[in-house]
Copies of this chain bind each other. A is one copy, B any other.
Amino acid sequence: MARFRSGRAQMIDARKLYEIDGPFAFWRGGELSAVTLAYETWGALNPARDNAVLVFTGLSPSAHAAASSADPSRGWWGDMIGAGAPIDTNEFFVICVNSLGSCFGSTGPASVNPATGEPYRLDFPELALEDSAAAGARLLDHLGIDRLKCVVGPSMGGMTALAFCLMFPARSTALVSISSAFSADPFAIALRSLQREIVRADPLWIHGDYSSDAAPATGMRLARKLGMISYRSAAEWRKRFGRTRKVSGEHAQFTIEFEIESYLEAHSQKWIGSFDPNCYLYLSRAMDWFDAADHGPGIDAAMTRIALERALVVGVESDILFPPQRQRELALRLHAVGCGVDYNELASIQGHDSFLVDFDRFGPLMREFFEGLAGDVA
Neighbouring B residues of A200 by C-beta, 8 Å = 254
Count this chain's copies in the assembly. 2
Expressed in whole angstroms, the Cα–Cα distance for A188 and B202 within the complex equals: 24
Expressed in whole angstroms, the Cα–Cα distance for A194 and B185 within the complex equals: 23
Interface residue ranges of A242-281 to B (CB < 8 Å): 242-243, 251, 253-254, 257-261, 264, 281
Residue pair B185, A197 in contact (C-beta under 8 Å): no
| CB contact between A126 and one of B233, B253, B320 (< 8 Å): that residue | B253
Given that A126-B253, A201-B222, A320-B320 are known contacts, is A237 also in contact with B187, CB under 8 Å in the complex?
yes
User: Does A4 touch B at the CB level, under 8 Å?
Assistant: no
| CB contact between A238 and one of B186, B191, B260, B281 (< 8 Å): that residue | B186
Neighbouring B residues of A187 by C-beta, 8 Å = 229, 233-234, 237-238, 260
Q: Report the stretch among A9-17, A113-121, A284-292 that lies at the interface.
A: A284-292
Given that A186-B258, A187-B238, A254-B281 are known contacts, is A243 also in contact with B203, CB under 8 Å in the complex?
no
Neighbouring B residues of A198 by C-beta, 8 Å = 198, 222
User: Does A302 touch B at the CB level, under 8 Å?
Assistant: no
Least CB distance from A40 to B in Å reads 30
User: Does A193 touch B at the CB level, under 8 Å?
Assistant: yes
Expressed in whole angstroms, the Cα–Cα distance for A186 and B256 within the complex equals: 13
Residue pair A189, B238 in contact (C-beta under 8 Å): no
Chain A 185-226 interface mask (CB, 8 Å, partner B; 1/0):
111111101101110111100000000000000110010011
Neighbouring B residues of A315 by C-beta, 8 Å = none
User: Does A323 touch B at the CB level, under 8 Å?
Assistant: yes
Expressed in whole angstroms, the Cα–Cα distance for A197 and B264 within the complex equals: 12
Closest residue on chain B to residue A234 by CB atoms: B187
Closest residue on chain B to residue A200 by CB atoms: B254
Neighbouring B residues of A257 by C-beta, 8 Å = 288
Least CB distance from A209 to B in Å reads 13
User: Does A183 touch B at the CB level, under 8 Å?
Assistant: yes
Neighbouring B residues of A234 by C-beta, 8 Å = 185-188, 320, 323
Expressed in whole angstroms, the Cα–Cα distance for A219 and B238 within the complex equals: 28
Closest residue on chain B to residue A29 by CB atoms: B251
User: Does A28 touch B at the CB level, under 8 Å?
Assistant: yes
